[in-house]
Amino acid sequence: MSRTTTDPRRMLDLDPVTIRKARSLARKAGAPVVTIAKRHTTVSVERAVLRLAGLEGADVEGIPWVNRLVDVVSEEAGLAQGVALPVWDAMLRTGDDLLTVAQKAAAGSVTFRVPEGKDAARAARASRAQVAAGVRRIDANRKHRDKLIAKYGPQPAPWIYLIVATGDIYEDIPQAQAAAREGADVIAVIRSTGQSLLDYVPEGATREGYAGTYATQENFRLMRAALDETSAELGRYVRLTNYASGLCMPEIASLAGLQRLDMMLNDSMYGILFRDINPIRTFVDQRFSRQIHARAGIIINTGEDNYLTTADAVDAAHTVTVSQLLNEFFAKEAGLENWQLGLGHAFEINPDIPDSFRLELAHAMLARALFPDAPLKWMPPTKHMTGDVFRGYLLDGFFNLAGALTGQGILLVGMMTEAVVTPWLSDRDLALQNVRYVFNAAGNLREDFRPAPDGFIANRARQVLGEAVDLLERIVDDTLLDAIADGTFGLMKRPADAGRGLDGVVRKESGYLNPATDLLEEGATR
């Protein structure tokens, strides 16, 4: 997103030195976590390697072959040197392909070891060659997306982001196509409740999700194909997003790259805070997943809006800024570029507070000022939706107006029936009408909007930035993991030695091999 003459940094009179200090502190706070992530692997990272190598399918109980294989390798050879060396060594010894080895592993008819010498070198070469085929497929998908966008032309910001998720992928598809025809630029298929806590990715097309639809490779393929048809019909590229979070974050990220998704929900701390997933597990998994997203040209959406559902949106505003700065650092360290950083924030201040809209503008302008080249993801009101659909529709209109005034890049469509029912198609139509009205009437108002240099909005933005710097200084002194354990973000206390998935974290030993990481970091495909 290019900068304009309406630079919010100048309008808010933000001190460049303070901004540089904030980013420097975020780097210092995040660097030890990156070091920890580099020293560890997880079962999901290792399963992602196998998925990139082409291993698909599940046994009769529905457990994916990648899970079966990694579990057996872990028991017999350990994962401290990665899954690739033992698995491809077994393939070379037996002459079997990857699927057959996985099936034999589940049946107990093949053994695994960590090879040495020439055997290790042969296994390393073979694993790299097979994983490289998956990386090349991701590269091809990125090129195909670029060609489609060039063919149809770029979509002007903000992109209108609309959620579709009935639980049944075959019901989702016509709803998603209808939403695109009504003006949605991005279709988000939210996951079935609780999928983030499953330590496996379901296989195949699914029809029985709860408050969402399961994220599976086949569901990704079906929806991408349907939206490609609608893109051709409409003459504009319709983007698809899903969730790369939870215990299978690296695998879902890999599947997204293999099926040409365009955006993925991928926050560095969401799973820790709101799903009680072990912090080390999460940081290891998110680094690998973001390396995949970087290679695939996928835009990530971070989850700072969630903090404001548990903490007060005024008192905790600076924690959102701190999280955005940390997400930026972690994302760039993994290879993502500014245009891929859909950093999150939300319109969640209690509307009964005096000057609530002015406060929302201050926070939104601060985010835009700090990240001028990022397509910020702006979330609509949810916490203070009461069930009064008329009040809710008005609040969503104010939200849309704030987005127009502050240049948000990705605008999630607010629903007046939030907190009442899962939205009907008619609710989505009305919500999209709200968006169209506001942006037709006031979409260019940003050109005229100038808050007073020493007025309420500018002073509030500078206050929040100052509080963010103060918090970052404390985090640097105490470490980020301790800050998470103390409940700094979203009032959730999550110690580093607890949480779901801890047993799936493995410290790497000398000789560890991950051909996927090597390929992603080298920028090579062979």
Instruction: Catalogue all structural domains in the chain, each as residue range(s) with its CATH number.
Output: 155-444 (3.20.20.440)
Residue environment code for 152-183, b if the CB has 16+ CB neighbours within 10 A, otherwise e: eeeeebbbbbbbbbbbebeebbebbbebbebb
Model pLDDT for residues 494-508, shown as the tens digit of each residue: 999 999 999 999 999
Averaged pLDDT, 407-428: 85
Instruction: Report the distance separating Cα 40 and Cα 35, nearest Å.
Output: 9
Distance from first CA to last CA of the chain, Å, rounded? 33
Model pLDDT for residues 50-83, shown as the tens digit of each residue: 999 999 999 999 999 999 999 999 999 999 999 9
Cβ-contact 266, 249 below 8 angstroms: yes
Model pLDDT for residues 174-202, shown as the tens digit of each residue: 999 999 999 999 999 999 999 999 999 99
Instruction: Report the distance separating Cα 165 and Cα 172, nearest Å.
Output: 6
- Torsions phi, psi for 188 (to 5 deg): -105, 120
Closest CA to 70 of 307, 247, 278: 247
Tokens 């903000």: give the residue. Answer: 158
- Torsions phi, psi for 345 (to 5 deg): -160, 175
Residue 340 has pLDDT above 50, yes or no: yes
Cβ-contact 116, 81 below 8 angstroms: no
Beta strand pairing call for 40-42 and 505-507: antiparallel
Instruction: Report the distance separating Cα 149 and Cα 236, nearest Å.
Output: 8
Model pLDDT for residues 207-218, shown as the tens digit of each residue: 999 889 999 999
**pLDDT > 70: what percent of the chain?**
98
Closest CA to 86 of 68, 100, 72, 66: 72
Averaged pLDDT, 155-175: 93
Cβ-contact 160, 314 below 8 angstroms: no
Amino acid 305: pLDDT: 83
Instruction: Report the distance separating Cα 370 and Cα 230, nearest Å.
Output: 36
Averaged pLDDT, 420-433: 84
Q: Residue 373 carries which side chain, given as an amino acid letter?
A: D
Cβ-contact 401, 381 below 8 angstroms: no
Output the six-digit token pair for 298.
């996928």
Average pLDDT, the chain: 94
Cβ-contact 498, 278 below 8 angstroms: yes
Residue 3 has pLDDT above 60, yes or no: no
Cis peptide bond prior to 453, omega within 30° of 0? no
Residue 155 has pLDDT above 80, yes or no: yes
Amino acid 87: pLDDT: 98
Instruction: Report the distance separating Cα 373 and Cα 502, nearest Å.
Output: 36
Residue 441 has pLDDT above 80, yes or no: yes
Instruction: Report the distance separating Cα 244 and Cα 293, nearest Å.
Output: 10
Output the six-digit token pair for 461.
């933005």
Averaged pLDDT, 1-30: 85
Closest CA to 520 of 43, 52, 32: 52
Residue 526 has pLDDT above 50, yes or no: no
Model pLDDT for residues 296-320, shown as the tens digit of each residue: 999 999 988 887 777 889 999 999 9
Angstrom distances, CA of residue 124 to CA of 72, 89, 92, 94, 425: 19, 8, 11, 16, 52
Amino acid 11: pLDDT: 87
Model pLDDT for residues 40-49, shown as the tens digit of each residue: 999 999 999 9
Secondary structure of 409-477 as H, E, C letters: CEEECCCCCCCCCCCCHHHHHHHHHHHHHHHHHHCCHHHCCCCCCCCHHHHHHHHHHHHHHHHHHHHHH
Amino acid 27: pLDDT: 98
Averaged pLDDT, 17-23: 97
Output the six-digit token pair for 223.
């929806």
Residue 420 banded pLDDT, cuts 50, 70, 90:
confident
Compute the Cα dihedral for 248, 252, 254, 255 and give only its sign: positive
Amino acid 43: pLDDT: 98
Q: Residue 258 carries which side chain, given as an amino acid letter?
A: L
User: H or E segment at 42?
Assistant: strand 40-42
Catalytic residue set: 270, 305, 377
Residue 525 has pLDDT above 60, yes or no: no
Amino acid 524: pLDDT: 52
Quick one: 351 exposed, middle or buried, by C-beta within 10 A (0-12, 13-18, 19+)? Answer: middle
